């Protein structure tokens, strides 16, 4: 048997409780997404290199969102959380800067995984940042200074210097890296004339600074807020005419995931370098993310086929992208509803009400990108979004903010349950002013008290006390308030609680195999609560045999 002290471990967990490190990392994942969401429009406005298409902030935001969501779905401990985050970034990387960011995450995680017990955590973190910067440079076909690469290298070098004292901590190393990143960002216009001429700092570098600031906040609790350097020019780059968007460069951005042996990547780099620029290939262990700007899209895809199996192929024509966006804005009319539905029956209900439906619910909630796509595809000037789930509200709000770039006015009605969405949609009136419609829908949702009945899948401690797997749980306004053995009995208790504050209408939404239960509860309402109307729908949602609301 090998000596445990010599086995590879996640170094930060070798000295500190791994559960605490994992909690800090998950906090970082949430903060990185939040901070990039807040800075997204600012970063988009800085975007002039390599192509002034104004989407760097959005791409980096969607990349970290994909990383966080994948980690939430697959991370069960420190090691799997780290590796899942890196893989999620690789799978969801968007644009040049998003792909480079995913390489930084991947290389950092791989180096952390090679550390051993006894290694100093501060030094391991610093060395990991250096390795990540080197890997990002290696991934780019033609590295250019004054970009996200420069900022990453400056951060790594500063981290390494801060880790020299034996007493150095991970917090000190990360703080030094964040400070150096900000200083390097301020110097990017001196290194790249295109930035200096536009009067901006590098957009990708700014995004990376936001990520470092999120890491520092997750570890130290200190939030850094600072203004961008003033350069005496414009805050937003001068638009480039649509017919000359790429300044004489290639016309198309091609991206795809590639399943290929690692040995095939050198040949792929050579082939793509011959036909394009802005080449970035990141990944490893058989899965790669390929990004390149070319004039010949077919040749770029064929190069991928020669190397392995390309999938999720995405092609963007830079000039047409601007024209399509303009055309969409001109053609938009009226108001639309986007609703998140947790089951097929619920989806049908929302569709009958005229909503565009996104699949959601526990375990497969939509991402910001998916909500944004639904908002854009509505072809409406105004869009009201119904999350119908407490954990999806922030995602929908981020998508609504992003819709501003498409000149779409999107508003989120913060429905926290499916039944609240049904109530809100019932009072929707597209003919009245948006503000009045939103007020009416929000009021209807808030006046719909919501509950549910479910079955515990594991032992836990709830607001109603401890429960065991298989216990029936009664939910009221998101809290577990009843524990029992029989679905019908607990359902009746929740109905009585909800009607104790008054009400005129009880709505029951039957889940998978829950129609008999819903009908039984409807009969109970009719017999025990005279004068109360009751309606039953087939929702088809999982995990909850019945959802309830009282209006």
As a whole number, mean pLDDT of residues 324-343 equals 71
Give the pLDDT score at 51. Answer: 58
Per-residue pLDDT, averaged over 103-111, amounts to 92
SS3 for 382-408 is EEEEECCCHHHHHHHHHHHHHHHHHCC
Distances, alpha carbon 326 to alpha carbons 311, 384, 406, 507, in Å: 29, 22, 8, 43
Q: Count other C-beta atoms under 10 Å from residue 454's C-beta.
A: 19
Q: What is the DSSP letter of 363?
A: T
Q: What pLDDT is stored for residue 323 in this prediction?
A: 54
- The residue-averaged pLDDT of 505-515 equals 91
Mean pLDDT on 445-465: 88
Strand partners, 316: 253
Q: What is the CA 449 to chain-centroid distance, rounded?
A: 29
pLDDT recorded at residue 332: 63
pLDDT at 391 over 70: yes
* % of residues, the chain, pLDDT over 90: 44
- Could you tell me the CA-to-CA distances from 441 to 36, 205, 344, 411, 423 in Å, in that order? 30, 41, 23, 11, 8
Supply the DSSP symbol for 242. G
SS3 per residue for 410-464? EEECCCCCHHHHHHHHHCCCCCCCHHHHHHHHHHHHHCCEEEEEEECCCCEEECC
Region 386-396: mean pLDDT is 90
Give the DSSP per-residue string, 190-215.
Answer: HH-HHHHHHT---HHHHHHHHHHHHH
- Geometric angle at alpha carbon 525, from 521 and 529, rounded to 5°: 160
d(CA 372, CA 140): 29
DSSP 244: G
Asked if the model's pLDDT at residue 41 lies above 90, the reply is no
CA distances from 174 to 46, 127, 156, 216 (A): 25, 12, 9, 6
Mean pLDDT (whole number) for 327-355: 81
Q: How far, in Å, CA of 350 to CA of 339, rounded?
A: 7
Place 237 in a pLDDT band, splitting at 50, 70 and 90: very low
C-alpha–C-alpha distance, residues 151 and 160, integer Å: 14
pLDDT digits (tens, 9 = 90+) for 71-105: 998 988 888 999 999 999 999 888 888 999 999 99
DSSP per position, 472-485? EEEEETTEEEEEES
Q: Return d(Cα 154, Cα 162) in angstroms, integer.
A: 12
pLDDT 10s digits, 151-186: 999 999 999 999 999 999 999 999 999 999 999 999
Mean pLDDT of all residues in 342-364: 87
Please report the pLDDT score of residue 248 as a whole number: 54
Q: At what angle do helices 170-191 and 121-139 cross, to 10 degrees?
A: 30
- What is the model's pLDDT at position 198? 75
Q: What percent of the chain has pLDDT over 70?
A: 89
What is the structure's pLDDT at 459?
86
519-534 pLDDT tens trace: 999 999 999 998 889 9
Residue 49: the pLDDT is 64
324 has pLDDT over 80:
no
- C-beta pairs of 269-272 under 8 Å, 24+ apart in sequence: 269/141, 271/303, 271/306, 271/307, 272/141, 272/300, 272/303
* Closest-CA residue to 31 (of 217, 188, 166, 162): 217
- pLDDT value of position 227: 58
pLDDT-derived band of residue 508, with 50, 70 and 90 as boundaries?
A: very high
C-alpha–C-alpha distance, residues 382 and 336, integer Å: 6
User: What whole-number distance in Å separates Cα of residue 447 and Cα of residue 547?
Assistant: 16
For residue 284, what pLDDT band results from cuts at 50, 70 and 90? confident
């Amino acid at each position: 048997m090998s000596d445990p002290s010599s086995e590879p471990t996640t170094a930060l967990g070798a000295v500190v409780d791994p559960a605490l490190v994992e909690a800090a990392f998950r906090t970082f994942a949430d903060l990185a997404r939040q901070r990039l969401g807040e800075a997204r429009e600012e970063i988009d406005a800085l975007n002039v290199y390599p192509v002034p298409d104004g989407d760097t902030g959005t791409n980096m935001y969607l990349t970290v969102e994909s990383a966080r969501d994948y980690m939430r779905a697959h991370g069960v401990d420190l090691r799997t959380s780290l590796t899942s985050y890196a893989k999620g970034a690789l799978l969801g990387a968007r644009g040049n800067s998003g792909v480079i960011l995913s390489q930084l995450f991947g290389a950092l995680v791989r180096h952390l995984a090679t550390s051993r017990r006894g290694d100093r955590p501060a030094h391991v973190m610093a060395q990991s940042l250096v390795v990540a910067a080197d890997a990002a440079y290696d991934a780019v076909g033609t590295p250019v200074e004054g970009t996200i690469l420069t900022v990453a290298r400056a951060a790594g070098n500063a981290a390494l210097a801060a880790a020299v004292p034996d007493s150095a901590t991970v917090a000190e190393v990360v703080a030094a890296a964040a400070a150096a990143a900000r200083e390097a960002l301020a110097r990017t216009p001196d290194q790249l004339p295109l930035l200096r001429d536009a009067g901006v700092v590098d957009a990708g570098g700014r995004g990376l600074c936001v990520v470092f600031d999120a890491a520092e906040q997750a570890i130290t609790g200190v939030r850094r807020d600072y203004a961008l350097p003033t350069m005496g020019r414009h805050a937003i780059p001068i638009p480039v005419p649509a017919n000359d968007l790429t300044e004489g460069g290639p016309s198309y951005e091609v991206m795809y995931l590639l399943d290929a042996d690692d040995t095939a990547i050198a040949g792929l780099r050579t082939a793509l370098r011959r036909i394009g620029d802005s080449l970035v290939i990141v990944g490893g262990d058989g899965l790669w993310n390929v990004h390149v700007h070319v004039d010949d899209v077919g040749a770029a895809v064929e190069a991928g086929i020669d190397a392995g199996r390309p999938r999720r192929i995405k092609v963007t024509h830079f000039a047409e992208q601007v024209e399509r966006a303009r055309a969409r804005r001109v053609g938009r009319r009226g108001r639309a509803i986007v609703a998140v539905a947790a089951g097929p029956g619920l989806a049908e209900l929302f569709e009958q009400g005229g909503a565009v439906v996104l699949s959601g619910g526990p375990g497969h909630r939509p991402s910001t990108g998916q909500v944004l796509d639904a908002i854009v595809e509505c072809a409406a000037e105004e869009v009201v979004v119904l999350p119908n789930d407490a954990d999806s509200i922030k995602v929908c709000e981020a998508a609504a903010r992003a819709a501003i770039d498409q000149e779409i006015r999107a508003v989120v009605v913060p429905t926290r349950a499916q039944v609240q969405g049904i109530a809100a949609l019932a009072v929707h009136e597209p003919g009245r002013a948006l503000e009045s419609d939103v007020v009416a829908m929000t009021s209807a949702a808030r006046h719909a008290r919501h509950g549910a009945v479910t079955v515990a899948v594991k032992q836990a401690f709830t607001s109603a006390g401890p429960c065991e797997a298989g216990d029936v749980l009664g939910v009221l306004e998101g809290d577990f308030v009843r524990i029992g053995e029989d679905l019908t009995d607990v359902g009746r208790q929740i109905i009585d609680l909800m009607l104790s504050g008054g009400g005129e209408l009880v709505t029951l939404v039957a889940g998978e195999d829950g129609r008999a239960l819903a009908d039984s509860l409807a009969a109970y309402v009719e017999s025990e609560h005279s004068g109360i109307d009751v309606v039953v729908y087939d929702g088809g949602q999982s995990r909850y045999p019945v959802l309830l609301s009282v209006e």
